[in-house]
Structure 1
Amino acid sequence: MKKYIIPIIVVITVFVGCKKDTEFTYQSEDNVYLNYPNSDTLTYSFSYRPSIDKDTVWVPVKIAGNRVAKDRKFVMSVVEGSTSAVRDFHYEKLKDFYIMPKDSGVVKVPIILKNIDTGLANNSVALTLRVVGGLDFKGDLPSAKRTKSIVFSNRLEEPTWWKYWGQLRGYGRVKHEFFLIVNGNVQLADMSSPSTAFYDIPRTLYYIENMRLFVTYPFEWVKQNPTRGYELKLRTDGTGDYDFYNVNAASKKFRLKYFAQANEYVFIDEKGNQIRM
């Protein structure tokens, strides 16, 4: 009988230990926080999607606590003191509450940013958000954990490869945007590494030629690319100039100026300079 005593004691000890483990559960009330990866700020630019007048940024909200088998409500608000974006002008009004689906530990909240402010071409605005709990969650976590910012603009910066291609004839943000409209978000060869860039030269020259044809013959380009959604419309100010714009972002227009003496149309950039190639 003695030979069974030690195994029985071991079994009882394991059983009791397992039973105690099951009693360690999450005791605090459930909270929510903004789950940005390694950053307090999310940056966004409309410049790489010039044909849209608004876009959705998905903000991840995560539970600190338990998942439950029912939908739960939480609230997200705008922190006015650290927000320069204007509601209905830079972003759409937030909902009164959002839903954390049942059995879920995270949900992505859609934040609608708007691209109708022409000032975004030169300046960024900030939209600071905070989850505050709501009906089914507490707001006990540190404010920094529950508060994040979206900084957005419609501003382009000169890419490193631009300066290597004299055919582009100098950098400008409007010219850069035209390059994106014509070619999409492509990167040209960076000639700082000529051993590898050499093989990209034919491809690069193709994209530059696409740009040249657009700048030189904009009316033909619009006719040949009807699915792109771009139009040229005669201005009503008697100048003979045209506005170039996308029908999905009609508030953002580029001026195609008419020079009567040369009977020529030329795009004008953000500094009032002619765009030629």
Structure 2
Amino acid sequence: MKHRPLFSVLSLLVCIGFTACNQADSFEYEGETGICFDAKTYQMRCGSLPYSVEEPTFALPLSLIGHGSGTDRGYTLSVVDSLTTAKEGTHYAPFAAERTLKAGQFRDTLWIKILRKNLDDGQTYRLTLRISPQSQLKAALPAQSVVSIQFDNRLDMPTWWPAVAYWLGEYNIRKYQKFIELNGSPVTAEQMEERKYEYLRIFRKVKEYFEAHPEEGVVFPNVHWEV
């Protein structure tokens, strides 16, 4: 029960979005000043992103609970190894664990680059972070001192794929991701039925791309294209 007032402060910050505000304007805060993650869990789906996006970036927000300061203050993040399956330098780029909340600021953002090319297509990865208790700014809310970020590169085969498999061959996530890059978006079954040959012309460009880049290991059937 004693944490309920603190959680109310966090709820207020989340509800107003990314607007920095001074809690003292509305009431007098008496608890210990600290920092916390805005949520306990996040998901990042990379599969439907264009093929050319090799390092999508995840923005992890943190909020100050308590009083602002006229000076910079530091806090430290650490990886919880027992709750993490992603590998630094393989699945995500290294980031600075020693963080600084600038003077007068009530929010900070950790930018995490996902190394998409190294992700297995069918696997979900997890990165779990904790606010270190040795930080100058400690965790304001114990329940939100740890965050879990799940990310993957999955992109399920669309239902229309078998109807055009004569030209496209077996489903390969990279074929569809390159198509999304050239087309600008995925397509529905209804769209494929109505604009089949238009989309096949785009897939022919996908085929030409992978033929020019055999190191990618993506192959198409050797058949006659009607478009």
TM-score by length of 1: 0.60
Amino acid in structure 1 at the alignment position of 2:61 = P
Deviations, residues 2-40 of structure 1 (Å, cap 9, x unaligned): xxxxxxxxxxxxxxxxxxxx9x6222221111113xx62
Shift in Å, 1:94: 3.0
Count of aligned residue pairs for this structure pair: 197
Shift in Å, 1:81: 0.6
Instruction: Check 1:89–1:62 CA distance in 2 against 1; reply closer, same or farther (3 A cut).
Output: same
SS of equivalent residue, structure 1 residue 61: strand
8 A contact 2:123–2:152 mirrored in 1? yes
Amino acid in structure 2 at the alignment position of 1:69 = G
Alignment of 1:72-83 (within 5 A): 72-83=73-84
The equivalent position to 2:200 in structure 1, one of 195, 208, 225, is 208
Shift in Å, 1:103: 1.6
What is aligned with 1:27? 30
Deviations, residues 129-169 of structure 1 (Å, cap 9, x unaligned): 12235543123522x3121212122221134xx42882355
For residues 164 and 178 of structure 1, the distance between their equivalents in structure 2, rounded to whole angstroms, comes to: 15
For residues 211 and 72 of structure 2, the distance between their equivalents in structure 1, rounded to whole angstroms, comes to: 46
Deviations, residues 27-69 of structure 1 (Å, cap 9, x unaligned): 2221111113xx6232232551322432321100001111222
Name structure 2 gaps, 5 residues minimum.
Answer: 1-24
8 A contact 2:35–2:138 mirrored in 1? yes
Instruction: Check 1:149–1:71 CA distance in 2 against 1; reply closer, same or farther (3 A cut).
Output: same
8 A contact 2:72–2:102 mirrored in 1? yes
Instruction: Check 1:254–1:184 CA distance in 2 against 1; reply closer, same or farther (3 A cut).
Output: farther
Deviations, residues 211-237 of structure 1 (Å, cap 9, x unaligned): 13542xx1xxx5xxxxxxx8835xxxx
Instruction: Check 1:213–1:72 CA distance in 2 against 1; reply closer, same or farther (3 A cut).
Output: closer
Shift in Å, 1:127: 0.7
The equivalent position to 2:163 in structure 1, one of 150, 161, 166, is 166
Structure with the largest fraction of strand: 1
Instruction: Check 1:167–1:186 CA distance in 2 against 1; reply closer, same or farther (3 A cut).
Output: same
TM-score by length of 2: 0.71
After TM superposition, the structure 1 stretch with the greater mean CA deviation from structure 2, 121-130 or 42-51, is 42-51
1:254 aligns with 2:210: no
Amino acid in structure 2 at the alignment position of 1:101 = K
Instruction: Check 1:72–1:231 CA distance in 2 against 1; reply closer, same or farther (3 A cut).
Output: farther
For residues 115 and 73 of structure 2, the distance between their equivalents in structure 1, rounded to whole angstroms, comes to: 29
Alignment of 1:179-258 (within 5 A): 179-188=179-188, 190-191=189-190, 201-202=194-195, 205-215=197-207, 218=208, 222=209, 232-233=212-213, 242-243=214-215, 253-255=216-218
Amino acid in structure 1 at the alignment position of 2:202 = N
Name structure 1 gaps, 5 residues minimum.
Answer: 1-21, 192-196, 223-229, 234-241, 244-252, 256-266, 269-273
Larger RCO (CA under 8 A, 6+ residues apart): 2
8 A contact 2:70–2:103 mirrored in 1? yes
8 A contact 1:57–1:112 mirrored in 2? yes
Alignment of 1:9-24 (within 5 A): none
SS of equivalent residue, structure 1 residue 48: coil
8 A contact 2:45–2:154 mirrored in 1? no
For residues 128 and 161 of structure 2, the distance between their equivalents in structure 1, rounded to whole angstroms, comes to: 39
After TM superposition, the structure 1 stretch with the greater mean CA deviation from structure 2, 176-185 or 123-132, is 176-185
Amino acid in structure 2 at the alignment position of 1:210 = I
After the TM superposition, list the runs of 4 or more consecutive aligned residues in structure 1 that deviate by more than 4 angstroms.
168-171, 274-277
Taking only the aligned residue pairs, the percentage that are identical comes to 21
What is aligned with 2:126? 126
